[in-house]
Every structure is written in structure tokens, then in C-alpha cells.
């Protein structure tokens, strides 16, 4: 039961912060949903740091990992919204935004995980 509560608290917190980030960045009338983009890249970086730290030190408890990685990062990042927004670009025929958003999200998301883990490795 404790683990479920930790995931619930972390996920709720991450979701609220993602919502606020989206409200702030997605209202720029640029077409690109920068809030979702930022949440996914930042969340990827954070999970890289968290899991990199766990791999290096093995000192993060299971509860802390569930709270931060599974809960917070899981609630903060959003693959489903990314997929929907990509679908909207395709449906509207905006192939440039689709390609920019999709490729940028994947490349920067992976890069952010690797960067987070790399930074922890050398600290």
C-alpha cells in the first residue's frame, strides 16, 4: 500500500507541474506544443539522473525510486499527449511541424536520458 501511495503522490505532483507548464508554454500561438515538448525532455533528463544515480550508488530506496521515477517522471512526461499532438499535425497536413516535433522529441528525449546518466557517472 505504501508503494501505491508513493506512486500516487509522485504522479499527481508530476501531472500538476506538466499541466502548469503546458498552460504557460502551449499558449504561445506558435503551433508547436512546447509545454509537452519541454515536459518530455525535462522528464527524460530527470529520469536519467535518477536512474543514473541509482545505478552508480545503489543508495536510492525502492520507495524513493517509485516516488521520483515511476510517479513523478511518469506523471510529468506524457507519451499519449505527444502521440495525439503528432496526430493533429498529420491530420491538418502540417508535415513540417509533425517532423520537427516528432524527431525533436525523440532525439532530445533520448539525449536527455543519456546526458542525465552521463552527468551522474562523472560526479
What residues are designated binding site?
Answer: 74, 77
Q: What are phi and psi of 61, to 5 degrees?
A: -70, 160
Q: Is the CB of residue 109 less than 8 Å from the CB of residue 40? A: yes
Given CA atoms 62, 64, 69, 70 in this order, what sign does their dihedral have? positive
- Cell numbers placing 101: 516535433
- Cell numbers placing 108: 532530445
Helices 79-92 and 34-57 pack at an angle, to 10 degrees, of: 150
Could you list the residues known to form a binding site for Na(+), using ranges. Answer: 74, 77
Amino acid at each position: 500500500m505504501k508503494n501505491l501511495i508513493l506512486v500516487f503522490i509522485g504522479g499527481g505532483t508530476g501531472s500538476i507541474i506538466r499541466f502548469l507548464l503546458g498552460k504557460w508554454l502551449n499558449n504561445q500561438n506558435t503551433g508547436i506544443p512546447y509545454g509537452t515538448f519541454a515536459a518530455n525532455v525535462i522528464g527524460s533528463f530527470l529520469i536519467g539522473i535518477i536512474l543514473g544515480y541509482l545505478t552508480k550508488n545503489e543508495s536510492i530506496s525502492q520507495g524513493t525510486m517509485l516516488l521520483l521515477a515511476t510517479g513523478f517522471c511518469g506523471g510529468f512526461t506524457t507519451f499519449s499527449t505527444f502521440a495525439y499532438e503528432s496526430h493533429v499535425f498529420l491530420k491538418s497536413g502540417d508535415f513540417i511541424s509533425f517532423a520537427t516535433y516528432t524527431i525533436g522529441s525523440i532525439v532530445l528525449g533520448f539525449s536527455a536520458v543519456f546526458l542525465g546518466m552521463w552527468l551522474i557517472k562523472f560526479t
